[in-house]
Amino acid sequence: MQHLARFLFSFCQSPWCASLVNAQQLWAEKVLSRQFGYEALQLGQAFSLQSAWQSCPIRRKLLLTDTSLPGTQLIGYYAQLPIKPDAVDVVLLHYVLEQSEDPYALLREVDRVLIRDGRMIIMGFQPANAWRGQLWGRHHRACAHLTPLGPGRLVDALQTLGYEIQRVAFFPDKGWRRWFPWLATPFSQGYALIAQKKTARVKLIGLRDGWRWQSLLPRLARRNMTHKVNQPCSILIETINDELMGISKSPTGRRSGGRGR
């Protein structure tokens, strides 16, 4: 929604969102500085992340929004990205899921353009806490059009798509909220997470599982190996002689216990 995107961009410049914006900008700068690849894509822009992107080693970056905003390079629909499949290394969703009518469809569309082992970075907010009771007038009308997915359901949706959740952060992360982040979820103003796209891998079975059991039961493994090694040599010699005698006595070259023709 274009009017909602403009409203969020203007509201994030207000003093009510100053602490949330500053915290997420610092977090984005640390995270983007560790990313790598050839192509990076940002969907939506509630506030400028230009300083954070400058620390990112990826050279080719694209900012796509659904309306004209400062710094926009391409305008399009989030549900139908004009990008071929498996083409982007990193995708950053900036307050986009809250504006989408179908956030699950948007996640599937982002999954389409991501390469294997690509990273999805999601930054979101919770209107009731971020706006601090400023839910009247235009705030109330804007909140009626939002779709707050929430970090809990978002993690479930990403895991269903086969993503590995690498990191989850809540803002502000001060005091007891830093040590108990999930307990602070209802009181947090915003959240951010990193998820990596995983592909199915072949699991080896057989000998590997046997060695795993021996590592879990070292005493039993050592006892079995010791019993086999410490067998008397005379028993082994007698067994070999019996086998040779049986083969020599058989007229067909088979063992004496076998059936004749």
Q: Are residues 192 and 219 in the same domain?
A: no
Containing domain of residue 231, as a range? 207-249
Asked if 130 contacts 189 with a C-beta cutoff of 8 angstroms, the reply is yes
Cβ count near 69 (within 10 Å)? 18
Q: Tell me the whole-structure pTM to 2 decimals.
A: 0.70
Q: Are residues 97 and 155 in the same domain?
A: yes
Least confident span in 2-16, 81-95, 118-132: 2-16
Q: Is residue 226 part of a domain?
A: yes
- What pLDDT shows up at residue 194? 96
Q: Is pLDDT above 70 for 252?
A: no
Q: How many residues does the chain have?
A: 261
CATH number at residue 57: 3.40.50.150
Q: Are residues 113 and 142 in the same domain?
A: yes
Least confident span in 62-71, 80-89, 232-241: 232-241
Q: CA gyration radius for the chain?
A: 31
- What pLDDT shows up at residue 104? 93
Cβ count near 166 (within 10 Å)? 13
- State the total domains in the chain: 2
Q: Which of 197, 215, 231 is the last residue of a domain?
A: 197
- CA distances to 81, 102, 206 from 214, rounded to whole Å, are 51, 50, 13
pLDDT in tens, 217-235: 444 444 544 444 455 555 5
Asked if 96 contacts 167 with a C-beta cutoff of 8 angstroms, the reply is no
